[in-house]
Amino acid sequence: MKIKKTLILCFLFCGLFLQGIAQESKIEKKVISELGHSTFINFNKTNSYKIGEVHSFFEEELKIKSNDELKKINTKTDRLSFTHYTYQHYYNNIKVEHGIYKVHTKDGLLKRANGEFYTVKIASTTATISAKRAFEILLTKINAKAYAWENEDNPLRGDYQKPEGELVILPIKNSQKTGFEYKLVYKYDIYTFIPFDRAIYFVDANSGTIVTKEQVMCSSDADTMYSGQRNVETQGAANGFPNGFRLFDATRGNGIHTRNNQGALNNNLGNAIDFIDADDNWTAAEWNNAGQDQAALDAHWGLEMTYDYFSIVHKRNSYDENGARINAFVHVIFPNFGGTTPNNAQWTGTNIVFGDGDGTMFSPFTSLDVCAHEFGHAVDEAEFSSNLVYQDESGALNEGLSDIWGACVVSMAAPEKNRWFAGEDITLNAYALRDMSDPNNLDLPDTYEGTFWATGPNDFGGVHTNSSVLNHWFFLLVEGSATTDGINDNGDTFTVNGIGIFDAEQIAYRMQTEYLTSGSTYAFARENAISAATDLFGACSPQVVATQNAFYAVGVGDESEIDEAVAFHFQDAQGNIKNEFCDGETIFLNGNATIQGAQNKYYMDVWRVNNDGTTTWLASQGSSNSTSPGWFNGSPGVIDITDLYANDPDGSVIFQNGVTYRVKLAINSDECGWFPLEHDFTMHGSDIDFHFEDTQKEKDDTFCLGEDVFLNGSDNFEVDEYFLTLYKLNSSGTYTWIVGTGWIQGNLENPVNVTEIFENLQGNDAVTFHPRTYAVKLSLESPGCGQVSVQKDFTYVDGNLSIAYHYEDKDGNKDDTFCLGEDVYLNGSDSIEVDEIFMSLWILNGSGNYDWIVGTDWIPSSLEDPINIIEIFENLPGNNAVVFQANRTYAVKLSIKDPVCGQLWLQQSFTLEECCLLDAPTNVHAQGNTVFWNPVPGAAGYIVESTDVWLPSCNCNWPISIAPIQTSNTSITLPLGFNNCTTIEVKAICSNGSTSAPSDLICVIYGHSLNNRATITSISPNPNKGMMNVKIVADTDIKDVSLKIHNFNGHQIQNFEQLKLDKGVLDLNLDLRSKLKQGLYIFIFTIGNETITKRVIIE
d(CA 606, CA 683): 14
Alpha helices in 842-980 (DSSP H): 869-874
d(CA 307, CA 379): 11
Backbone angles phi, psi at 1019, to 5 degrees: -125, 110
Judged by DSSP in three states, 62 sits in helix
Strand residues in 286-365 grouped as ranges (E):
326-332, 334-336, 339-341, 345-347, 352-355
Active site residue 464: yes
- HEC secondary structure over 767-796: CCCCCCEEEEEEEEEECCCEEEEEEEEEEE
Helices and strands counted in the chain (H then E): 13, 68
Which long-range contacts link 490-495 to residues 24+ away (Cβ below 8 Å)? 490/447, 490/450, 490/555, 492/552, 492/553, 492/555, 492/559, 494/549, 494/552, 494/553, 494/559, 495/549
Are 489 and 439 in contact by the 8 Å Cβ rule? The answer is: no
Annotated catalytic residue within 97, 116, 214, 374: 374
Q: Which helix (H) or strand (E) holds 297?
A: helix 294-314
Q: What is the DSSP string of 73-107?
A: EEEEE-TTS-EEEEEEEEETTEEEEEEEEEEEEET
Annotated catalytic residue within 464, 472, 925, 1046: 464
Calculate the CA dihedral of residues 667, 668, 672, 678 and round it to 10 degrees: 10
Query: Which residues touch 181 (CB under 8 Å, ≥6 apart)?
Result: 171, 172, 173, 174
Amino acid at the residue 217: M
Q: Which helix (H) or strand (E) holds 552?
A: helix 542-553
**Cα dist. 574→586, 589, 592, 685 in Å?**
10, 13, 16, 18
d(CA 721, CA 728): 24
State the greatest distance between any 2 C-alpha atoms of the chain, in Å, as a whole number. Answer: 127
Neighbours of 763 (CB within 10 A): 5
- HEC secondary structure over 604-630: EEEEEECCCCCEEEEECCCCCCCCCCC
Measured in whole angstroms, the distance separating CA 323 from the mean position of its chain's CA atoms is 27
Active site residue 286: no
Are 31 and 84 in contact by the 8 Å Cβ rule? The answer is: no
Are 800 and 904 in contact by the 8 Å Cβ rule? The answer is: yes
Amino acid at the residue 562: I
Are 170 and 214 in contact by the 8 Å Cβ rule? The answer is: no
d(CA 628, CA 188): 66
Neighbours of 933 (CB within 10 A): 21
Neighbours of 175 (CB within 10 A): 7
Judged by DSSP in three states, 657 sits in coil
d(CA 547, CA 536): 12
- End-to-end CA distance of the chain, in Å? 72
Handedness of CA 480, 485, 487, 493 (dihedral sign): positive
Cis peptide before 415 (omega within 30 of 0): no
User: Catalytic residue positions?
Assistant: 374, 464
